[in-house]
Structure 1
Amino acid sequence: MVPDDWEGVMGGSQFGAPGSFTPPAGEGDAGSNFLSGLLDGPTDSEAAKRVSEGGHHLKDLAQSGQFAVNEEGFQAYMKACDFFLDGYNRMIVDVGLLTTAANMGGSEYAKAVATFNVKVADGDEESLIPNLIRMRDGVLQAREAMAIARKNYRETEDAHSMTFAQLNKGLQEQ
């Protein structure tokens, strides 16, 4: 189940250079923007676009060392991503059934409804299937970002531990 409180998910995340706890301007919302798109769903093209762009943005931040996440945050993000991906294959198959016009009768109205249903499923870039694919790609990018961000966090923690050990050794030598 996806958590109701996304702030709890973001609690284990940090944006900025490793070791920094101050987010660069505008970057602190990247994870929230990504997750809010997941909640809006594939019927909203803007939400699908936010998920896709958000996943790529998170990965870019992580690769440049500007995003780090501790184990608790990592697990929460992965849970949200896996929740979506677990249902994705079922959703895409179900929506794929709508790409064939249903035999709804011979009237013009029945034909129009059947044609409309096909268009909603896969008629253009705003329809369900392209939106689902956009969202899946964004979620996959976010999963990759989380692995990188967890590594960033661990490296930061290791650096802090070494600095503390050196400081402690210096104090003991005095």
Structure 2
Amino acid sequence: MASEGAWSAQSMQAMTTNMVGLKQAAESGSFAISQDGAQAYIKAIEDAQMQLAEVDLDILDLVNKPKLGTSPDGKSLSEYNLENVNGGAGTTGIIKAIDDLKAALEEARLAMQKAVENYREIDGSAAGTYQRY
């Protein structure tokens, strides 16, 4: 699995925000990229999607309340851990952050395809403005 910092809820929220911005730029036509240029981004997106699929297996271990004893501290820490997984006061929850990132990555992949279409349209219209002799 990737390092913890790479998949923190905060980093996933930041990536989600960036992916949404990418989608909006592509849909508005303000972002265009060649097919060759898009391939590296699409591969990175698909790699991240595969890594998140692997993370899903680890999440199964997190959704159960950890058994940390019956002491007040053990119970409190157990609740705190569960709150970080599912969300609660002061936290989005790692599961929601992962789900949001999955959706955003798919939107980013589609945005790259739209940006390639934008590039083709721009390239085609630019080619049409030159006269051939």
TM-score, normalization by structure 2: 0.80
Q: 1:43 aligns with which of 5, 8, 11?
A: 8
Unaligned ranges ≥5, structure 2: none
- One-letter amino acid of the structure 1 residue matched with residue 68 of structure 2: M
CA contact (8 A) 1:67 1:149 kept: yes
Matches of 1:134 and 1:41, distance apart in 2: 15
Find the counterpart in structure 1 of residue 111 from structure 2. Answer: 145
1:140 shift after superposition:
1.3
Structure number with the bigger relative contact order (C-alpha 8 A, sep ≥ 6) is 2
Unaligned ranges ≥5, structure 1: 1-39, 170-174
The share of aligned pairs that are identical, in percent, is 24
**CA RMSD across the alignment:** 2.1
Pairwise mapping of residues 26-105 of structure 1 onto structure 2 (< 5 A)? 41-45=6-10, 47-105=11-69
Structure 1, residues 63-105: CA drift from partner, whole Å, max 9, x if none? 2211101122211111111111001122133124212112233
CA contact (8 A) 2:87 2:96 kept: no
- One-letter amino acid of the structure 2 residue matched with residue 163 of structure 1: T
Matches of 1:101 and 1:50, distance apart in 2: 28
Which portions of structure 1, spanning 4 or more consecutive aligned residues, are displaced by more than 4 angstroms?
none
Q: How many residues align?
A: 127
Matches of 1:154 and 1:95, distance apart in 2: 41
Find the counterpart in structure 2 of residue 111 from structure 1. Answer: 75
Matches of 1:96 and 1:122, distance apart in 2: 12
CA contact (8 A) 2:33 2:115 kept: yes
Structure having the larger proportion of residues in helix: 2
TM-score, normalization by structure 1: 0.63
